[in-house]
Amino acid sequence: MNRYDIFSNWEYIEDYFAGFEHGEGEGTKVRLPHSRKGVIGFGENEKSSSPVYGYRRRLDVPQYWEKQRVFITFDGVVENAVIYVNGMRIAVRQSAHPRFTMEVTDLLEFGSSNLLCVEIIDSENTVSPCGMYRGVWIETTANTLEESFARLIEMPRIKQSMVMPLC
């Protein structure tokens, strides 16, 4: 498994609009982690002009990844997020504080530039660090992936037990 951090070269837009996920318009260059409310972990009293904002990043996907499986992991996005790859809506996450991963192999154009976009719907929480407040990375694996988080272990059956006092 190979991991590629994609913390830099993101574009941020304060007022999300339809078409941003297709590459229209321009955003401000930012690096992750990023919060629309200032310092990560601390809210500000002033509210932003729009409750919907967004991030996007170009991904240059090598041709040789075509023989692998490709996953994108978001380590922390607040609050509600809609994920797009090449303009196609692929996931909706509500209250997406926890890390989440999605496979994007079949959505990528190998050997060319792809567009990853995150539309975020802000909450009224003034303390929460709304935005992409942790990292994002891509993982590539072999075409066959074995998930082995838990395996059944055969244990011999106990046929007889005996309790012996210690004193």
| pLDDT exceeds cutoff 70 at 107 | yes
| pLDDT exceeds cutoff 70 at 156 | no
Task: Report the pLDDT value the prediction gives residue 88, as an integer from 0 to 100.
Answer: 96
| pLDDT exceeds cutoff 90 at 75 | no
Question: Is the residue at 28 inside a domain?
Answer: yes
Question: Is the residue at 48 inside a domain?
Answer: yes
| pLDDT exceeds cutoff 80 at 23 | yes
Domain that holds residue 23: 2-141
Tens digits of per-residue pLDDT, 42-61? 444 445 567 889 999 999 99
How many angstroms separate the CA atoms of 29 and 4, rounded?
Answer: 20
How sure is the predictor about 94, in pLDDT bands with cuts at 50, 70 and 90? confident
Task: Report the pLDDT value the prediction gives residue 82, as an integer from 0 to 100.
Answer: 93
Question: Is the residue at 167 inside a domain?
Answer: no
We report the CATH number of the domain holding residue 82 as: 2.60.120.260
Report the pLDDT averaged over residues 26-43: 74
Question: Is the residue at 156 inside a domain?
Answer: no
Beta carbons within 10 angstroms of residue 122's beta carbon: 19
Question: Is the residue at 109 inside a domain?
Answer: yes
Strand partners of residue 83: 91, 118
Question: Is the residue at 89 inside a domain?
Answer: yes
Task: Report the pLDDT value the prediction gives residue 41, as an integer from 0 to 100.
Answer: 43
| pLDDT exceeds cutoff 80 at 153 | no
Task: Report the pLDDT value the prediction gives residue 132, as an integer from 0 to 100.
Answer: 80
Question: Is the residue at 59 inside a domain?
Answer: yes
Least confident of 10-19, 60-69, 104-113, 153-162: 153-162
Q: Rounded mean pLDDT of the chain?
A: 82
Question: Is the residue at 150 inside a domain?
Answer: no
How many angstroms separate the CA atoms of 36 and 105, rounded?
Answer: 30
Task: Report the pLDDT value the prediction gives residue 45, as an integer from 0 to 100.
Answer: 41
Q: How many domains does the chain have?
A: 1
Distant-in-sequence, close-in-space partners of 32: CB < 8 Å, separation ≥ 6: 6, 7, 8, 10, 132, 134, 135, 136
